[in-house]
Amino acid sequence: MKSMDRKPVVFIFIFGVALIIFSLSSFAADSSLQRLSRISSEIKGIKNSAAIGVLFGSRYMSYESESFSVGGAGYTGQISGGAAGSFSYGGILVGYTHSFAKKAELELSLLGGGAGGFQAATTGGGVVLEPSVALNFLLGKTVRICLNSGYAWVPSLTAFSGITLGLRFDFLLNGVME
């Protein structure tokens, strides 16, 4: 592995360890588990040195405490960079949310799963890891809008790895966001 390829691995490892530490402290502080869940629709752009694309997807999260949630997500869409192609990925998602204002939150999440796609002569699949950070703004008692940024890393297909920027709408299924 080239030294240039190790930077995302180190970043994702540190991000994952920090997320676990924050989540464990959240479990210790909150003994009454909330069983709230939310479903989301999202549109995101992905950009790397060779291509740009638009992906659509959804995610489902279940709150295990006031701040910690687990669930899953999946995205698919078109990419182009000289030749058109398709890219899809999805997996298990863990997240940590911190309220910093009455109607605003900071969310850290990590998606781990599988990816696949094709573009011109590049076809294949593999593992995907995507750490991301989001700013969430409550629009009502059951809806929020989220602006997020992350990095989708597919080690076996660097042509599909890249920075992601997204707009997401979350809908609370049972309960009220406070």
Q: What is the DSSP letter of 22?
A: H
pLDDT at residue 79, as a whole number: 86
Give me the DSSP letters along 119-147.
ETTEEEEEEEEEEEEEEEEE-SSSEEEEE
pLDDT at residue 81, as a whole number: 76
Over residues 147-173, the mean pLDDT reads 90
Q: How far is CA 178 from CA 18, 49, 67, in A?
A: 25, 40, 12
pTM of the model: 0.78
Could you name the CATH architecture of 3-172? Beta Barrel (2.40)
Cα–Cα distance for residue pair 169/58, rounded to 1 Å: 9
Cα–Cα distance for residue pair 58/44, rounded to 1 Å: 11
Which position has the token pair 């781990």? 112
- Break the chain into its structural domains and give their ranges: 3-172
Judge whether 146 and 169 are in contact, CB under 8 Å.
yes
Cα–Cα distance for residue pair 124/116, rounded to 1 Å: 6
Q: What is the DSSP letter of 154?
A: -
Q: What is the pLDDT of residues 99-157, one digit of tens each?
A: 888 889 999 999 999 998 887 766 777 899 999 999 999 998 889 999 999 999 988 87
